[in-house]
Structure 1
Amino acid sequence: MTDFPGAPTGPSNGPRLRVLAAMSGGVDSAVAAARAAEAGHEVTGVHLALSGNPQSFRTGARGCCTLEDSRDARRAADVIGIPFYVWDLAERFREDVIDDFVAEYAAGRTPNPCLRCNEKIKFAALLDKAIALGFDAVCTGHYARILEGPTGTRELHRAVDAAKDQSYVLGVLDAEQLAHALFPLGDTTKDEIRREAERRGLAVAKKPDSHDICFIADGDTQGFLAKHLGTAAGDILDADGSKLGEHDGAYGFTIGQRKGLRIGRPAADGKPRYVLDISPVNNTVTVGPVEGLDVLALTAIRPRWCEGRPPAAGAYGAQLRAHGEEVPVSAEVVDGELRVRLERAVRGVAPGQAVVLYDGTRVVGSATIAATERGPVGVDPVAADIG
């Protein structure tokens, strides 16, 4: 599969492909579908019904699984002039994304459901069904690029618009999935996409982006987890083991959290305390000074390599959050596990998150953080969003 005319993210001067365009109801996926159709491909739009009980309307800019979104996607398909269907993947989404999300928090880890959705839903369940129906590729509105490598292989790269780059959440894709993926927006900025949508007459041109976790429409993650896991009172401990307070469930905390700790007394130095550790075994949450969050090394499991093979040991860039800063690291694969040593400390790194490796703009692959190694105080840390 080669590239779109004038852009490095889709077919050019190649065969006319049968393309299934995943249309969420937002502006990005609508323009992506329009570009694929304009490139001469036979495009069919599909909206994934992922909620077992969808709301009629969005709550602000949250979510992407409402009836309103489905209707917006259908209207966009009509304007583009392509067939449109709604596929019910709610049960698969519940099993592979929502249940996994709840189980990870129950185990004291912090998952990223967007990576899980891309891996298990958009590029597994959806792609498998598309291939079975005779489609050649799945097209989405992700901001990322697919470029041809030196040996003719397809490589996943960062988008041109660094502020919108979504290559981090696509780092779970393997070579076979990338062989059937189209990302037509990777060479364009978000502002340009909105202007293009207006020129194309797409009503979603000014529709706000979805944020946060799509299946938690009100943004109350702690309330969502409490509903699924119930309350389980436990202790909040200082780093020396002394009790500072109580909580209703360790799942309601994440590594690096500062707000909402409900600690009875201030620290001796008067400085804020942060969640340093979550133990589901004894249901305790340990807090301490921000320096206790400094991580200099990590071990990650269940690696997935974009080119189908583990990378050679050496220097790479690593991203640890969806919108986090890339950090220089040395990395190697040992007995199937990814071992990463950071050149400077990073704060707010939690088991369950993904580490995605980069070689320049190229995505090498990703793995799930299983353990971290804390560094000494005062090692010029990169501050993560831990407020």
Structure 2
Amino acid sequence: MRVLAALSGGVDSAVAAARAVDAGHDVVGVHMALSRTRDQFRTGSRGCCSIEDAGDARRAADVLGIPYYVWDLSERFEETVVADFVAEYEAGRTPNPCVRCNEHIKFATLLDKAVALGFDAVCTGHYARIETRPDGTRELHRARDLAKDQSYVLAVMGPERLARSMFPLGDVATKEETRAEAAARGLSVSAKPDSYDICFVADGDTQGFLRSRLGSQPGEIVDGSGVVLGQHDGAYAFTVGQRKGLSIGRPAADGKPRYVLSVEPVDNRVVVGSADELAVQAVQADRAVWFAEADGSFPCALQVRAHGDAVPAHATVQDGVVEIALDQAGALRGVAPGQSAVLYDGTRVLGQATVTAALRSSGATSGLVR
């Protein structure tokens, strides 16, 4: 097959491309330039879009003996990922930019362009497995190394794009195995640190980034009864479950910490309460993407964070809306609108949807939090 290998400049994508070459595929490497303002060097940069990364990707391609290109997708990235990130926070929701990047860039723009150029598949360094059933249906599963599993952020891609994807690292036992393989192959990125946090927020200061885009928007921090406890400089800087940065001068009656229960963008208010009030008993979601037939009610496991645990639940699908009731109320805390809800059956991904509301399971203010 003709395979386009996405080379980020990290060790995972380099080893994935090497394995595709070993499998006998006709492989071409491509690095996606996603930001016009990325840091020139990785020092102080916590993401994966530095110019240094592009150079590391080129050197990996040279070692593998494959053609290498850089595709400028920065305009598309700004329009679909960065703009969505800012708009979601401004609307009081909590987006996951990695999910949106996989949806709009890696498995939409990149894959569509690859197919148009005659490639059969796109190969990436994601940790996830693809299993093929006897009837030819492809299933997305968790990686063998659960600590590195990335099926959560891949669930948005859908079955059609999964059919043209390759994840050669899905069966790797540990990240150390990947690094050892890279070193044995003579890849200089074998000891390169992992990228983390949001790639377009190089210094890790998400609030500062949002403030630079949205400006100062002072408002009130209140409790569930509407009593004003403090002030904020922008409700967009807060998310459900957050504790740090509230700067509330008045202590709670019970002396316990307070957390963000909801963000109300219309009134520019942040509502806070106790940890117990964050407990959730059900989640509502829409814009679902399914890898399996989904109708009526069925048991599943629900995961709402990339590195969170999946908890037993039952999902009901009706008129495009997914209602997910937890088998044990309070098994999840602080679920926010905008988060990605991924449903599993064991290791298999059943589908993904975007959280629109969460029903809290306790406290005087329990109800739908939007």
* 1:140-171 alpha-carbon deviations (Å, 9 max, x no partner): 00000000124320100000001000000001
* 1:283-306 alpha-carbon deviations (Å, 9 max, x no partner): 000111101101110110100112
8 Å CA contact 2:197–2:204 kept in 1: the answer is yes
Cα distance, 1:312 vs. partner? 5.2
Cα distance, 1:310 vs. partner? 2.8
8 Å CA contact 1:28–1:141 kept in 2: the answer is yes
1:162 aligns with 146
Structure 2 Cα separation of the partners of residues 224 and 59 of structure 1: 19
User: Residue 217 of structure 1 aligns to a residue in which SS?
Assistant: coil
Cα distance, 1:34 vs. partner? 0.3
Structure 2 Cα separation of the partners of residues 170 and 117 of structure 1: 10
Structure 2 Cα separation of the partners of residues 113 and 58 of structure 1: 20
Structure 2 Cα separation of the partners of residues 203 and 328 of structure 1: 43
Structure 2 Cα separation of the partners of residues 333 and 61 of structure 1: 42
CA 92–339 in structure 1, closer or farther in 2 if over 3 Å, else same: same
2:169 aligns with 185
Query: 1:180-219 maps to which residues of 2 (within 5 A)?
Result: 180-188=164-172, 189-219=174-204
* Residue 372 of structure 1, aligned match among 358, 361, 364: 358
User: Residue 119 of structure 2 aligns to a residue in which SS?
Assistant: coil
User: Residue 327 of structure 2 aligns to a residue in which SS?
Assistant: strand
User: Residue 299 of structure 2 aligns to a residue in which SS?
Assistant: strand
2:368 aligns with none
Structure 2 Cα separation of the partners of residues 25 and 306 of structure 1: 30
Cα distance, 1:332 vs. partner? 1.5
Cα distance, 1:173 vs. partner? 1.4
Structure 1 Cα separation of the partners of residues 190 and 297 of structure 2: 45
* Residue 268 of structure 1, aligned match among 226, 249, 253: 253
User: Residue 174 of structure 1 aligns to a residue in which SS?
Assistant: helix
* 1:290-333 alpha-carbon deviations (Å, 9 max, x no partner): 011011101101001124x4355211011110000010000021
Query: 1:1-387 maps to which residues of 2 (within 5 A)?
Result: 17-60=1-44, 62-188=46-172, 189-307=174-292, 309-310=293-294, 313-344=297-328, 345=330, 346-376=332-362
8 Å CA contact 2:7–2:31 kept in 1: the answer is yes
TM-score of the two chains, using structure 1 as the length reference: 0.92
| Identical-pair percentage | 65
Gaps of 5+ in 2: 364-370
Structure 2 Cα separation of the partners of residues 364 and 59 of structure 1: 39
1:219 maps to a residue whose letter is G
The size of the alignment, in residue pairs, is 360
1:354 maps to a residue whose letter is S
1:200 maps to a residue whose letter is R
Cα distance, 1:376 vs. partner? 2.3
Structure 2 Cα separation of the partners of residues 179 and 129 of structure 1: 15
Structure 2 Cα separation of the partners of residues 56 and 264 of structure 1: 41
8 Å CA contact 1:61–1:211 kept in 2: the answer is no
1:363 maps to a residue whose letter is V
Cα distance, 1:60 vs. partner? 4.2
* 1:66-98 alpha-carbon deviations (Å, 9 max, x no partner): 110000000000001100000000000000000
Structure 2 Cα separation of the partners of residues 102 and 211 of structure 1: 19
Structure 1 Cα separation of the partners of residues 134 and 314 of structure 2: 24
Structure 1 Cα separation of the partners of residues 62 and 294 of structure 2: 44
Cα distance, 1:193 vs. partner? 0.3
Q: Which runs of 4+ in 1 moved over 6 A?
A: none
User: Residue 313 of structure 1 aligns to a residue in which SS?
Assistant: strand
TM-score of the two chains, using structure 2 as the length reference: 0.96
2:367 aligns with none
* 1:216-259 alpha-carbon deviations (Å, 9 max, x no partner): 01000000000000011000001111000100000010100011
Structure 1 Cα separation of the partners of residues 189 and 295 of structure 2: 41
Structure 2 Cα separation of the partners of residues 317 and 59 of structure 1: 39
CA 198–61 in structure 1, closer or farther in 2 if over 3 Å, else same: farther
Structure 1 Cα separation of the partners of residues 42 and 264 of structure 2: 35
RMSD of aligned residue pairs (Cα, Å): 1.0
Structure 2 Cα separation of the partners of residues 129 and 339 of structure 1: 36
Structure 2 Cα separation of the partners of residues 305 and 59 of structure 1: 40
CA 190–60 in structure 1, closer or farther in 2 if over 3 Å, else same: farther
